[in-house]
């Protein structure tokens, strides 16, 4: 059974700090990894995708992938109260079923 | 990306009735999915909507309860049949553009309350 594990939180950080969100996955065949942000009452919004080991930066967001450790992380620099949301990690395989498996999400609270 | 229109955005329904949710995409897509998200929970895949053939259902979900149509590459419907309060949830349509496991995008969701 493919699983994606996340700490449900909440993770509370002060405004301006770095928020670090972590995710592990069970399927070694996973090739594609995604971070979604979901505000309360809204649908998930894709914020980052990463396909190879290392770091990928996009603005204040950095996704990190370590396939050997089956570990994915998302760093949010200069956190803002508007970043307060639930962050969902997802993984999908390149062969066979491409359907992503989602984690339960980590609730992030950025307080002023 | 894709523009995904899902409706209704919310509804309150009587138990025993059925609700059909529509999902319209602004471009042809290979993969369309239907998810359920219960309060405080992550996304649970109900089924993959296949164009021109029967949907592929995940364990725990059956066609009689959640019939799905996909008449073309831009449109799908999910029906929640014979509803009970346990069906109260957010239902989400999702598309994956390339068919190769790249990014998936979501509709706005349908918040269903069964009373």
pLDDT in tens, B32-72: 999 999 987 889 999 999 888 889 999 999 999 999 999 99
Sign of the Cα pseudo-torsion (B61, A41, A24, A73, in order): positive
What's the pLDDT at A108?
97
Residue A112: pLDDT band by 50, 70, 90 thresholds?
very high
pLDDT in tens, B3-32: 999 999 999 999 999 999 999 999 988 889
Which one of B42, B48, B102 has the shortest CB-CB distance to A104?
A: B42
The distance of A48 to chain B (nearest Cα, Å) reads 9
Q: How far is CA B90 from the centre of its chain?
A: 9
**Do residue B42 and residue A88 have CB atoms under 8 angstroms apart?**
yes
The distance of A54 to chain B (nearest Cα, Å) reads 18
The distance of B112 to chain A (nearest Cα, Å) reads 12
Which one of A45, A49, A105 has the shortest CB-CB distance to B42?
A: A105
What part of B 22-81 touches A (C-beta under 8 Å)?
31, 33, 41-43, 45, 48
pLDDT in tens, B82-109: 999 999 999 999 998 766 667 789 999 9
What's the pLDDT at A37?
97
Residue A97: pLDDT band by 50, 70, 90 thresholds?
low
Distance CA A99, CA A109 (A): 29
What's the pLDDT at A2?
78
B101 at A interface, C-beta within 8 A: yes
Distance CA B74, CA B61 (A): 23
- Per-residue pLDDT averaged across A82-92, rounded? 95
pLDDT in tens, A30-55: 889 999 999 998 999 999 999 999 99
pLDDT reading at A56 higher than 90: yes
Sign of the Cα pseudo-torsion (B23, B29, B31, B37, in order): negative
Can you point out the beta strands (E) in B14-109? 19-25, 31-37, 44-49, 56-57, 68-72, 75-80, 89-96, 104-106
Distance CA A10, CA A108 (A): 6
Higher pLDDT, B66 or B2: B66
Inter-chain Cβ pairs, chain A and chain B, closer than 8 A: 49
Percent of chain A with pLDDT over 90: 79
pLDDT reading at A96 higher than 60: no
In B, which residues are within 8 Å of A34 by CB distance?
A: 103-104
CB neighbour burial string for A51-75, b if at least 16 within 10 angstroms, e if fewer: eeeeeeeeeebbbbbeeeebebbbb
């Amino acid at each position: 059974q493919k699983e994606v594990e996340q700490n449900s939180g909440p993770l509370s950080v002060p405004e301006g700090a770095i928020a670090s969100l972590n995710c592990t996955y069970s399927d070694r065949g996973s090739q594609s990894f995604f971070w979604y942000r979901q505000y309360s009452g809204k649908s998930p919004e894709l914020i980052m995708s990463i396909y190879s080991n290392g770091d990928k930066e996009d603005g204040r967001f950095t996704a990190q992938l370590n396939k050997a450790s089956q570990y994915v992380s998302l760093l949010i620099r200069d956190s803002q109260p508007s970043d307060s949301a639930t962050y969902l990690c997802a993984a999908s395989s390149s062969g066979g079923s491409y359907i992503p498996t989602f984690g339960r999400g980590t609730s992030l609270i950025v307080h002023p | 990306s894709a523009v995904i229109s899902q409706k209704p955005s919310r509804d309150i329904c009587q138990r025993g009735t059925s609700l059909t949710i529509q999902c319209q995409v602004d471009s042809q897509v290979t993969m369309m999915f239907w998810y359920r998200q219960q309060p405080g929970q992550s996304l649970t895949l109900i089924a993959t909507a296949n164009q021109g053939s029967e949907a592929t259902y995940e364990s725990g979900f059956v066609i009689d309860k959640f019939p799905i149509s996909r008449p073309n590459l831009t449109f799908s419907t999910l029906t929640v049949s014979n509803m009970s309060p346990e069906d109260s949830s957010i239902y989400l349509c999702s598309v994956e553009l390339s068919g190769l496991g790249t990014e998936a995008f979501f509709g706005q969701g349908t918040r269903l309350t069964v009373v």
